[in-house]
Amino acid sequence: MELKEAVAKATETKELVVETGAIDRVGEVLRRRFAGRGAAIVADENTQAAAGRRIADHLAADGFAPPRTLIFPGRPMLGPDYANVERVREFLREGDEVPIAVGSGTINDLVKRASHELKRPYVVVATAASVDGYTSFGAALVKDGFKQTLACDAPLAVVADTEILRNAPPPMAAAGYADLAAKIASGADWILADALGIDPLHPVGWPMVQEGLRGWLERPSELAAGSPAALGRVFTGLALTGFAMQAMKASRPASGAEHLLSHVWEMQHLTKNGVPVSHGFKVAIGTLGTTALYEILLSIDLPHRDVESHLSSWPSWAEREREVRAAWGGSEQAEQAVIECRAKWVERDELDRRIALLRERWPGLSEKLKGQLIPYGELREMFRAAGVPTAPEEIALTRERAVATIPLAQTMRRRYTILDVLYELGLLKECSERLAASKSYWR
């Protein structure tokens, strides 16, 4: 699907300008979509230098009043904390200008949520091909200590100047590549959930992301070399993923177990050399870990595997709640984890039916999963060619800490993923240990 067709299907974003010199057309977008209202720019020092000042200059030359600005420090890296949403919201409340988010992931999410709370449509000017959130419904934020996707509308307009994207630091494009590649593993999770009747494949959300995905991921070395064509492929894939989320009002087309692992590390404030690790790089390690878990699961003769002993000791919800609280060590995140786990909990009778269905469908389902996944070794080489980290140590994670994340990630969301299948089969500990002992995975 082409971007133009995706925009036509989008429920919230009505305009997408992606071209060299697109930044010069911000005033045109404001006149066309907002009757020429003034602008309020939100950026950090880095994105203000990359694009914010130029937007202000062009608006002034185009007859607009000088925009009000809220500029966050460039260092330390701005966090996706709800307190920052409140700061943006109060800044925007001081006037009635059109909010313009100048940046990528965090800046966009902060403005997206603040604008939503004020019931005010906004514009985003992209500064890197690093995330799929530009066009997505919802904002990934840390609220009450728990990483969650808060509901909010996508931008009314997206402006992406390809020259600005090309001039972004190379790791940002690599992070975008990793976030896009994550849709392979999350697609496998969705296939699983569909096969078990839990979360059917969406007639728009699935093909919008999956049909072009392998093409957008082609020739990763060209992305590392700064190829405009490769950058365009990645940005197109990320934008279409966002439109799929708009269509569903959910992040299912974009994330699965790999993002749950990343969310835990986000909440643990993972840093390298004092700098927060990017979303895309955390997702990269999560994607490789999820792919490894799939390969381990697919090596098991599931129809003939004895899971009855596990099923006979299936805990009550009260017992499971105690396990979840203990896993989170009494932290502030425990309460939200309990809510998420309760939403997907099944009693023994329902679990029996689910496992029977899984075993019945496993021959065909396992072939579908193999067809969806990129083999671990091949995916690792694609990441290396794109400049994406492939081992936990590259993002300041020990293997022990990375493996210890797996059971925590299973409690993070009610969304059904491979982590839930492994938990319900009683295989989560075994498969995690096999991953930890492997000389191929997370190396």
Q: What's the confidence (pLDDT) of residue 228?
A: 85
What is the pLDDT at residue 333? 87
Instruction: Please tell me the predicted confidence (pLDDT) of residue 105.
Output: 85
CA contacts within 13 A on the Cβ side of 50: 25
Supply 256's token pair.
């699965």
Sheet with 39-44: strands ordered across: 15-19, 157-161, 123-126, 98-103, 39-44, 68-72
Q: Among residues 130, 129, 157, which one has the least CA distance to residue 228?
A: 129
C-alpha closest to that of 193 among 373, 310, 307, 357: 357
| pLDDT by 10s per residue, the chain, length 443 | 677 777 777 788 999 988 889 999 999 999 999 998 999 999 999 999 999 999 999 999 999 999 999 999 988 888 899 999 999 999 999 999 999 999 988 999 999 999 999 999 999 999 998 888 788 888 889 888 888 888 899 999 999 998 999 899 999 999 999 999 999 999 999 999 999 999 999 999 999 999 999 999 999 999 999 888 898 899 889 989 988 988 888 899 999 999 999 999 998 989 999 989 999 999 999 999 999 999 999 999 999 999 888 889 999 999 999 999 999 987 888 999 999 999 999 999 999 999 999 999 999 999 999 999 999 999 999 999 999 999 999 999 999 999 999 999 999 999 999 999 999 999 999 999 999 999 999 99
Contact 67/95 with Cβ under 8 angstroms?
A: no
The three-state DSSP-derived secondary structure of 197-235 is: CCCCCCCCHHHHHHCCHHHHCCCHHHHHCCCHHHHHHHH
pLDDT reported for residue 428: 97
CB 386, CB 171: distance < 8 Å: no
Q: How many CA atoms lie within 13 A of 119 on its CB side?
A: 0
Q: Give the pLDDT confidence score for residue 387 in this predicted structure.
A: 97
**For the chain, where do the domains classified as CATH 3.40.50.1970 start and end?**
3-168
Per DSSP, what are the bridge partners of residue 272? 275
- Mark out the alpha helices in 306-347 (DSSP H runs): 308-312, 317-327, 334-344
Is 375 exposed, middle or buried, given 0-12, 13-18 or 19+ CB atoms closer than 10 A?
exposed
Q: Ramachandran region of residue 155, left (φ > 0), alpha (ψ -120 to 50) or beta?
A: beta
The DSSP bridge partners found for residue 18 are: 160
Q: Which fold has domain 3-168?
A: Rossmann fold (3.40.50)
Please provide the distance, in angstroms rounded to a whole number, between the alpha carbons at the two ends of the chain: 36
